[in-house]
Structure 1
Amino acid sequence: MKKRMGKIVSSLLTCTMALGLMACGSSDKSGDTSASTSSSGGKKIEFWNFFTGPDGNNMKKLIDDFNKTNPKYKINNITMAAGDMYQKIPTVVNSGKGVPDLCIVDVARVPMFQSQGILEPMDEILTREPEIKRENYREAVWNTGAIDGKQYSVPLDMGVTGLLYNKKLVEKYAPNVLDDNVVTVDEIMDIIPKAKADDIVTLPVSFFTYEMALSLATQKGGSLFNEDGITPNLNSAELKEAYQTLRDIQEAGGGSEDGDDNLQLFINNMSIFCHTGVWDYNSLMQAEDLDWGMTNTIAYSPDKIVNVSNSNQFVLLKSEARTEEKEIVIADFLDFIRENTMEWARSGQVPASNSADGEQEFQHMPGYFFVSSPEEQNSIAFRSFKYGGIVDDAIFASQNDAIYGSMSVDDFLNQAQQQSEDNIAQQGE
């Protein structure tokens, strides 16, 4: 196989290891904490987030536009790397000092933080702004913040992952394969020999491996945890079959070389398909000589599709310093975001609010595909388990060893299961 361009560790793996699956432009950053203030002087609401990538420009515009409405408190936009922020949160909450008035966290953090007593319910916010309600958001993502009868978060977006396809290469190697908007595993295996003969990658399974595996396992009824939501279920038959499927694609010659920059392969017309997140929209739009689209995750059968998603969510960290006056402005700000969510759609994300659905600009973005029908919206699955982060870490540690054959799928998942059980036991479960 010809030498690949730019061998680097895949950006999503870095993201997910930091538990920031979705906002890759933010949680992928590992630089020093930085602050970007949207107001100078006066009363401020401290807003922590990890939008340090290009998506930060979209959030800054939203904040600046809100501050121009002359609220009693202006939003002070403080951005930092996700890992840094997650280390700071328990410290400031436990000390009661320096707690931000508003914060963005990954959906996977919500149940864990709630169980640790780090979050306050959003009851006061919902009461003050009655339009911040389930009916004005995607129901599935809204429900991820509902715990024990209370709402602990308000969703900003849905970071859906799906299958990029190169239109020219599809026409050459797999005409009509996308007629039903689903590429099956069997179809992938049929394409591989023809593409491999021309040194073209069919599907890099070492990129967004976890999301593809979760999608395939969920299609067969599998889950990362048992029904109690606490006991991991990583060595299940469904997850074993999913990872074996991806390994089979790699062994058949359909994947990329270890270390390849898989998104760059796609951008350079060297890969027919590539699984990634909707947030790569702006990078793809800047690519020259690339005619592309986005569709559902690969499936065993076209009648059962699952698209794994993440979500950035607004939360209130426990604080005695947050005043009623600040809560009023926070409610106004969240409703402003809901009404003006088209700006966030421009970052590449699928807004959690449905207020942009009638906008032609949004309808021409690839993310709209995933909310364009009830069937597509129902295909979206979230990972919002209390100990999801522990399982993520265990999976990430060795999944590429299983994909590239240095470890069997059984050994990989058994090891991940044991590691998860041990680390959860240390949490007191």
Structure 2
Amino acid sequence: MTGQISRRRLLSGAAALAGGGMLLGCAPSASRSAADLSYWHLMTGGDGIVMAGLVDAVNGQNLGFSATQTVLAWGPPYYTKLAMASAGGRAPDLAIMHASRIAGYAPGGLLEPWDLDLLAEVGIRESDFPPLVWQKGLYDGKVYSIALDTHPFVLYYNTDHATKAGVTDALQTMKSPEEFTEVASKLQKVTGKHGLSYGYLGDGSQMWRLFYTLYRQMGADMLLVPGQPAQVDEAAAVKTLTFVRSLLDDTIATRSGDGGTATSEFLHGESGMFFGGVWELPVLKDAKLPFDARPIPTLFGTDAAYADSHTFVLPRQSKVSPERRRHVYQMVAEILKRSVKWAGAGHIPAYQPVVRGAEYQELKPQSNYAGIPAYVNYDPDVWFGGAGSDFHKYFAENVQNVYLGSGDPAAGFEGFVKRLNVLLDRPQPV
């Protein structure tokens, strides 16, 4: 192929991968000085404020560079622009990417690998990260992402309701679906409404987070290899869906609640437990609610928890300035070493020296679930998966009726697998 044809195919593949059109706006200027770093991320709201503070703190150290942030809309808009800027070789010096998206970007040359020697020079080593978190950033033996955090799906509970229901100890020791249901039933008697809040309606990601946590607790795997049928455990999937549906009985939990309904219900004391991401923590704290948090209990024998990670990546550039690249490494190191501030938003810092520090250990309830990275489960590695992709939407299309009580668990999961197999039969677009 000629270089022109190759580049055109790369651009069209990047557009397909990102799920959007050819958006090349926001590309950094090639005339920037080596001290002027361009940094793209998708942090908004409270996360955005914290990230801006971290960047300002690093810039304030006068280390010979200054980073300028560009904040883009979460999800497909962000990943589309990042893919297209990388495909065109006009990407930022540094970007944030969910760990679950690495499998779609690294194989096609949209990312550049990190240099382990340069990382060591700024004090960052593999041993500073939980093994599973570090491994998620690998492709073909090279490191393509450096994790900032792990943000898992957890269990929150109202401590006042737990005391009244006499389940405070049971919340820490339950190890079976029957024990979980019993605790939820006792909490429902205290609240008079629901024992558990779990919002999923219209949100495939919420459906998937709980399903995949419990599915993996059964020791079940899901291997998605392009060109091959999906390798899944249908029996474990049906058992998981059946259990989730049993909780959605309009007594333990509402059968048709969405995310906003679940959060509001828990905030107003109308439930005793709440399945949610750690990113919900700031809202709960602001409400002055008497609550605590812990990992979702191991109900099916194997420790497992769904999570994703915000990671630092080096998008592909047509021309790399060695001096600017060294500044990028130093910037990442400085942010990681200050990531206890990031933990305030609920996330678990990936950089373990911070997690082991006294300041983080004193954070509650954050330090209660700090052990999750040891058994974390990310989305299956596949080019069409990950945060902001359609993977979770495909799950919802087939499983939402199961959660609502009108669909058959086996048929719902079979439909999801069929949809996966159609995509696996297609060549990776990049």
The alignment's TM-score, normalised by the length of structure 1, stands at 0.82
Q: Given the superposition, is the C-alpha separation of residues 181 and 307 from structure 1 closer, same or farther in structure 2, using an over 3 Å criterion? A: farther
Structure 1 vs Structure 2: percent identity of aligned residues?
20
Match of 1:379 in 2: 375
Q: Does 1:421 align with 2:389?
A: no
Q: Greater shift after overlay, 394-403 or 142-151? A: 394-403
* Mapped contact 2:149–2:309 kept (Cα < 8 A): yes
Q: Does 1:92 align with 2:90?
A: no
Q: Does 1:101 align with 2:97?
A: no
Displacement of 1:280: 1.7
Deviations 1:168-212 (A, max 9, x none): 222233524436454642123224555555532122344433222
* Mapped contact 2:99–2:311 kept (Cα < 8 A): yes
The aligned runs of 1:172-251 (5 Å cut-off) are 172-178=164-170, 180-182=172-174, 184-196=176-188, 199-207=192-200, 208-225=206-223, 231-233=229-231, 236-251=234-249
Deviations 1:27-71 (A, max 9, x none): xxxxxxx99x9xxx9742111100012111111111111111223
State how far apart, in whole Å, the 1-side matches of 2:318 and 2:266 are. 50
How many residues were matched structurally? 388
Q: Given the superposition, is the C-alpha separation of residues 428 and 80 from structure 1 closer, same or farther in structure 2, using an over 3 Å criterion? A: closer
The aligned runs of 1:295-374 (5 Å cut-off) are 295-301=294-300, 304-356=302-354, 357-371=356-370
Q: Given the superposition, is the C-alpha separation of residues 377 and 104 from structure 1 closer, same or farther in structure 2, using an over 3 Å criterion? A: closer
Q: Does 1:58 align with 2:57?
A: no
Q: Greater shift after overlay, 233-242 or 71-80? A: 233-242
Displacement of 1:378: 2.6
Q: Given the superposition, is the C-alpha separation of residues 278 and 410 from structure 1 closer, same or farther in structure 2, using an over 3 Å criterion? A: same
* Mapped contact 2:248–2:255 kept (Cα < 8 A): no
Deviations 1:210-247 (A, max 9, x none): 22211211111112326899743456211221111000
- Report the 3-state secondary structure (helix = DSSP H, G, I; strand = E; otherwise coil) of the residue aligned with 2:293: strand
- Report the 3-state secondary structure (helix = DSSP H, G, I; strand = E; otherwise coil) of the residue aligned with 1:96: coil
Determine which structure has the larger helix proportion and give its number.
2
- Report the 3-state secondary structure (helix = DSSP H, G, I; strand = E; otherwise coil) of the residue aligned with 2:196: coil
The aligned runs of 1:29-178 (5 Å cut-off) are 43-82=35-74, 83-97=76-90, 99-123=91-115, 126-127=118-119, 129=121, 131-178=123-170
State how far apart, in whole Å, the 1-side matches of 2:152 and 2:293 are. 11
Deviations 1:104-161 (A, max 9, x none): 0011111111122211101167456352111112222111112221111100000022
Q: Given the superposition, is the C-alpha separation of residues 194 and 64 from structure 1 closer, same or farther in structure 2, using an over 3 Å criterion? A: closer
Q: Given the superposition, is the C-alpha separation of residues 428 and 379 from structure 1 closer, same or farther in structure 2, using an over 3 Å criterion? A: closer
* Mapped contact 1:247–1:403 kept (Cα < 8 A): yes
Q: Given the superposition, is the C-alpha separation of residues 202 and 379 from structure 1 closer, same or farther in structure 2, using an over 3 Å criterion? A: farther
Q: Given the superposition, is the C-alpha separation of residues 230 and 287 from structure 1 closer, same or farther in structure 2, using an over 3 Å criterion? A: farther
State how far apart, in whole Å, the 1-side matches of 2:352 and 2:116 are. 22
Q: Greater shift after overlay, 197-206 or 259-268? A: 197-206
State how far apart, in whole Å, the 1-side matches of 2:37 and 2:117 are. 14
Q: Give the unaligned 5+ runs of structure 2.
A: 1-16, 18-24, 201-205
State how far apart, in whole Å, the 1-side matches of 2:328 and 2:36 are. 11
State how far apart, in whole Å, the 2-side matches of 1:203 and 1:230 are. 39
* Mapped contact 1:309–1:380 kept (Cα < 8 A): yes
Root mean square deviation of aligned Cα:
2.9
Q: Given the superposition, is the C-alpha separation of residues 178 and 189 from structure 1 closer, same or farther in structure 2, using an over 3 Å criterion? A: closer
State how far apart, in whole Å, the 1-side matches of 2:421 and 2:143 are. 29
Match of 2:6 in 1: none
State how far apart, in whole Å, the 2-side matches of 1:238 and 1:46 are. 46
Q: Given the superposition, is the C-alpha separation of residues 110 and 227 from structure 1 closer, same or farther in structure 2, using an over 3 Å criterion? A: closer
Q: Give the unaligned 5+ runs of structure 1.
A: 1-18, 20-33
Q: Given the superposition, is the C-alpha separation of residues 270 and 205 from structure 1 closer, same or farther in structure 2, using an over 3 Å criterion? A: same
- Report the 3-state secondary structure (helix = DSSP H, G, I; strand = E; otherwise coil) of the residue aligned with 1:338: helix
Residue type of the partner of 1:379?
Y
Match of 1:31 in 2: none
Deviations 1:309-330 (A, max 9, x none): 1100100111123310111100
Displacement of 1:397: 2.5
* Mapped contact 1:144–1:384 kept (Cα < 8 A): no
Match of 1:263 in 2: 263
- Report the 3-state secondary structure (helix = DSSP H, G, I; strand = E; otherwise coil) of the residue aligned with 1:314: strand
Q: Given the superposition, is the C-alpha separation of residues 51 and 418 from structure 1 closer, same or farther in structure 2, using an over 3 Å criterion? A: same
Match of 1:5 in 2: none
The alignment's TM-score, normalised by the length of structure 2, stands at 0.82
Q: Given the superposition, is the C-alpha separation of residues 300 and 230 from structure 1 closer, same or farther in structure 2, using an over 3 Å criterion? A: farther
